[in-house]
A = this chain, B = another copy of it.
């Protein structure tokens, strides 16, 4: 259950509809997921967040699918259930194969493993890693 009401397109202000329309256009789908419907309680925050997502997640020197996989990795470590589902779906929509998801799973698991080991060992950072 959400801590705020979700704003559907039909109940939305002109400002919110403009963002929803842009999401639909960029993603080439009519589907607006709950994240945007929750943010829409504050139209300015909705707009800014969408602009940021659109800019950061666009393909650059890192491709769009890889960016979604990195997003999944962060979301797992932060235990954000919604984010894990939405960005796993996005990664798949952008071409992630099940084999790649399996490797992503293995890397995330291993990174957590060694994060736990290093935390327990409290190792000093090697000089060789200095930039």
Would you call B34 and A124 a contact (CB within 8 A)?
yes
Would you call A121 and B38 a contact (CB within 8 A)?
yes
With the chains together, A105 CA to B49 CA distance in Å?
12
Give the contact-size bracket for chain A: 35 or more
Chain A residues with CB under 8 Å of chain B are 1-6, 31, 33-35, 38-39, 41-42, 45, 48-49, 52-53, 56-57, 60-62, 66-67, 69-89, 97-126, 128-131
**Contact A82-B130, Cβ < 8 Å, known A2-B124, A103-B60, A107-B62:** no
- Taking CB as reference atom, which chain B residue is nearest A39? B117
Copies of this chain, how many? 6
The secondary structure that dominates the A interface is: helix
Would you call B3 and A115 a contact (CB within 8 A)?
no
- Taking CB as reference atom, which chain B residue is nearest A4? B121
Would you call B60 and A125 a contact (CB within 8 A)?
no
> Contacts A41-B102, A85-B126 given; 7 further ones with Cβ under 8 A?
A1-B122, A70-B73, A79-B80, A83-B114, A85-B122, A86-B125, A112-B116
**Contact A78-B77, Cβ < 8 Å, known A3-B131, A56-B110, A116-B111:** yes
